[in-house]
Amino acid sequence: MKPCKTMKIGCHLSASGGYLAMGQTAVSIGANVFQFFTRNPRGGAAKPLDKGDIAAFLDFAAANGIGPILAHAPYTLNAAGAETRVREFAEEVMADDLDRLEHTPGAMYNFHPGSHVGQGAEEGINLISGMLVRILLRWLDAHGGKLPSTTILLETMSGKGSEVGRDFAEIRAIIDATESKLPVRGNTLGVCLDTCHIWDGGYDIVNDLDGVLAEFDRIVGINRLKAIHLNDSMNVLGAHKDRHEKIGKGKIGLDALIRVVNHPKLKDLPFYLETPCDLQGYRDEIALIKKLRSGS
């Protein structure tokens, strides 16, 4: 019998102590991946990079099998905003984040596509893809035609308010509109699937996980799926809200979420918990999921 491949699972951690501290915290709670905000989730300024800390983390990560790490853009980033200053802020932040992440090769960068605030989904898609195109064209020009080493992930959204990315078709439209304007193709754009968000968005992963994944594959392509936000939901199917719950305590439930982590199309992806837990809670959830992982 083939040995079970090591599961990649972790949670969102505070970046206040730096990269090495996050890596050490991850190991202490049984995690081998983690997510963090690139800067204050409600603000704009990022702390100066500590290259000594990064070097120590990279050594620690290699020794402890940590990665890929997932950097999360701040919530204030809205590439589809109606105001020019809002869109310019989003572009400046993402461009700066990608520059900083080159110091941790192989990282992924997750962002909420944005909210069109009454302009319509089509215009929102145009604005989001336009930002990505400008950032990547400048990157290509500055780096001899090479794409970033960081994979940029569009997160699936719940459809709250005027969110763009509320269904798989909108995610695919952003990707297509971006890649059609780039002179080179690569593995730069991917998707982070949030179990709470797609459930709240109307995708029944409790009763028809296979069907949901088949639809994702048909519309987006399963090869684009690079990470999973593993969250339960406080809401019923199709509520179009965004209220995460602890694993097994919400409307999705433990059985369905364990089917997610054991699904052959998903099980080798990294899973990142964003449940309302403290570190002990994350330690318990990670241990529970590992226990119920097939072959573990």
Reported as a single tens digit per residue, the pLDDT across 148-201 is: 999 999 999 999 999 999 999 999 999 999 999 999 888 899 999 999 999 999
Res 80: pLDDT? 96
For residues 267 and 244, give the distance between their C-alpha atoms in angstroms, rounded to a whole number. 21
| Regions in the chain scoring below 70 on pLDDT | 1-4, 43-44, 295-296
Q: Classify domain 9-292 at the CATH topology level.
A: TIM Barrel (3.20.20)
Res 262: pLDDT? 97
Res 43: pLDDT? 67
What sections of the chain are H helices per DSSP?
Answer: 19-28, 51-64, 84-101, 121-142, 168-179, 195-200, 209-219, 254-262, 279-292
Res 285: pLDDT? 98
The pTM (predicted TM-score) of the whole model is: 0.95
Three-state secondary structure call for residue 83: coil
* 112: Cα separation from own chain's centroid: 8
Could you state, in order of their start, the residue ranges of all structural domains in the chain?
9-292
Res 3: pLDDT? 38
287 with 293: CB under 8 angstroms? no
